[in-house]
A and B are shown apart, each in its own frame.
Chain A
Amino acid sequence: MFRFDYMDALAGALLVLLGIAVTWISVANYPLGTASRMGPGMFPAGLGVVLAFLGVILALQSLRRPGPKPDIRIFSPFFVLGGIAAFAALIVPFGLIPAIFAIIVISSLADLRIRPVSLILSCIGLSLLAPFVFVFLLGLQIPLLRWPF
């Protein structure tokens, strides 16, 4: 346990920053208009103020109470998001099958145990299943394999 709720204090500070940024961008770039003819900047500028206000309340509350220690994992989000990023980077230049292999292999690492046989089997299985559903059954035009060079 923490003596203060540090996590909420941090969250509140982030909300304040985000709110200020939103209001700043809106006021600087989009016309505010008048109350009877509102421009595109008015509504987001107001929302930014609301968000910053909520952040202040959250941060103030957090100082009055103890808070739990967060349970933060590093590898789970790293490999899951990394796998998605690999899929996004590969699908257009290299096609579907390499993208599937990349996301399955990389995201499987998040489990922190490597099981080569089941990994290979699920790569092959999904490389057959996904094209079957999306390309064959649904008739979508997704290139399966490509060489951009």
Chain B
Amino acid sequence: MDLLGSLALGLGVALTLQNLLYCFLGALLGTLVGVIPGLGVLAAISMLFPLTFHLEPTTALIMLAGIWYGTTYGGSTASILLNLPGTPANAVTCLDGYPMAKQGRGGIALFMTTVASFFGASFGIILLTLFTPVIAEYALRFGSAEYFALMLMGLVASSTISEGSAIKGLAAVTMGIIIGLVGMDTQTATIRFTFGNLGLLEGISLIALAMGIFGVAEIIMSIRRVHAADIDPESVKLKAIVPTRDDVGRSWFPMLRGASIGSFFGTLPGTGPSIAAFISYAIEKRVSKSPERFGNGAIEGIMGPESANNAADQTAFIPTLSLGVPGSATMALMLGVLMIHGVAPGPNLISDEPELFWGLIMSFWVGNIILLLLNIPLIGVWVRMLTIPYHLLYPAVLMFICLGAFTSGFSALNIWMVAGFGALGYAMRIFRFPGAPLLLGFVLGPLMEEHFRRAMVLARGDFAVFFERPISAVIMAITGLVLIWGVWSSEHLRAKRGARALEREAARRAAHHPEQEAPDGQN
């Protein structure tokens, strides 16, 4: 099928009344979640996932994807108006967005970031459309050894590159894989790690795990720490939203650079919208002729990062849809959703399920246009959402989490699992282990085992197979480099950061000023 035919097919799927409705719903809910601090995108997707059970897989994915890119739009609103990043990917937007709002240019900032978001997303979607089928076709040649190597690379990269200790990231991945092995072994029908519980035969529920580790643990951490914003209604009254000619002129190149940076980092495992936004900000400051304006409301400082994080949101789908190897926890969740709906991810996805693939891509356009139209007129509503006190919000969120877990199987066991994983997630926060690698390991673990065992059968038990086949060898070499670099740099950085933290603590003790805690979220 030629590209135009595929696009037309996708547009047809995306524009059916049902898909349009769920795309709208996803984008709306995503924006809402993005605005509210203390509620992450993973928690939102896993919480709303049970609503999509009875839907077609395409519609379900369209809605969940809408939540994913909607949060990035919504997050910028809270960053600019209140200096509170709704999601980590928008944290850097605070630096120049909030000063702009204080100067009475909040309306312009919101308008321009919406444009930047749309621009970045469009850039990402175009790359996604062009490259995914090409990569998938190339990947059809991959055997089990290559797949195992690819998944290993994805897991190693995402656990060592992300913030914090690389060793802890790797430990989280390993725990995730082990949790993924619970239940019946697909090849020998041996029942593993169920301890006699019949409910665990089909394995641990992905939904219960994601809701526990991200939703419940996040809530426990946020109680009595996240407070409803005290907003002066005058400050959010938008005096002007029409940018000056100077604003527009300054915005072109940051948007373009941001979109390129974001698209690049979006496809790599372990990096994502947050890192893309930070790097984009750093580059804009570096190339600017007047870097002293940054931090005081420079429009370049919001256009680059907002374009970058939205582009990264879209290109993150490239490895997920072309190879079936997700690079981030959110993408792992999307992949899990596909598998729960009985769709096998991998390079065959595009040819086997063209409606799903092209429909999803075209729905990104639809969703981004909805968001473009939605964001500006509804700013007042979003700001009001921020004034809902957290003590009213979190019990309701917990209730929906439990109800969602219950309806995904109609057994109380799923709710007990939510409680168990909530406890595990809280313990991981206290010990400062990252949660995202655990989810990635959980989703990829069973696939990895299958490919590993199959590769070993084909190679007659010779481990060298992973290093003899050329593609697999290259991937393994990259994995090795990433591992060494990741462990080295995380220890190096930690030593530096540790020294800085000590200084800060000493300064704080001296000044007796309690430091305000920032809400902690994750992608």
A and B bound? Answer: yes
Measured between beta carbons, the chain B residues less than 8 angstroms from A35 are: 456, 461-463
- Whether B399 pairs with A87 at a CB distance below 8 angstroms is yes
- Whether A88 pairs with B407 at a CB distance below 8 angstroms is no
Given A40-B187, A40-B188, A88 contacting B396 (CB threshold 8 A) = no
A-B contact pairs, 13 of them (CB 8 A): A10-B431, A11-B433, A38-B452, A43-B449, A43-B452, A66-B502, A71-B430, A73-B220, A76-B223, A81-B220, A91-B412, A103-B402, A107-B394
Which of under 10, 10 to 19, 20 to 34, or 35 or more describes the interface residues of B? 35 or more
- Whether A80 pairs with B219 at a CB distance below 8 angstroms is yes
B interface residues (Cβ-Cβ under 8 A, vs A): 51, 54, 165, 167-168, 170-171, 174-175, 177-178, 181, 185, 187-188, 190, 192-193, 216, 219-221, 223-224, 391-392, 394-396, 398-403, 406-407, 412, 415-416, 418-419, 422-423, 426, 430-433, 449, 452-453, 456-457, 459-463, 491, 495, 498, 501-502, 505
In Å, the complex CA distance between A36 and B433 comes to: 35
Measured between beta carbons, the chain A residues less than 8 angstroms from B402 are: 84, 87-88, 91, 99, 103
Measured between beta carbons, the chain B residues less than 8 angstroms from A66 are: 498, 502
User: A145: CB under 8 A from chain B?
Assistant: no
A38 CB to nearest B CB, Å? 5
Interface Cβ pair total, 8 Å cutoff: 175
- Whether B498 pairs with A84 at a CB distance below 8 angstroms is no
Per DSSP, chain A at the interface is helix
- Whether A51 pairs with B171 at a CB distance below 8 angstroms is yes
Given A76-B220, A113-B391, A47 contacting B187 (CB threshold 8 A) = no
In Å, the complex CA distance between A52 and B67 comes to: 38
Given contacts A88-B416, A103-B395, A126-B396, 10 further A-B contacts (CB under 8 A): A10-B431, A40-B187, A48-B178, A54-B170, A58-B168, A76-B220, A80-B223, A80-B398, A88-B412, A110-B223
Given A47-B177, A88-B412, A88-B416, A72 contacting B399 (CB threshold 8 A) = no
- Whether B178 pairs with A22 at a CB distance below 8 angstroms is yes
> CB within 8 Å of B: which of A39-90?
39-40, 42-44, 47-48, 50-51, 54-55, 57-58, 61, 65-66, 68, 70-73, 76-77, 80-81, 83-85, 87-89
Count of chain A residues near B, Cβ 8 A: 72
Given A22-B178, A111-B223, A58 contacting B171 (CB threshold 8 A) = yes
In Å, the complex CA distance between A11 and B174 comes to: 14
- Whether B224 pairs with A108 at a CB distance below 8 angstroms is no
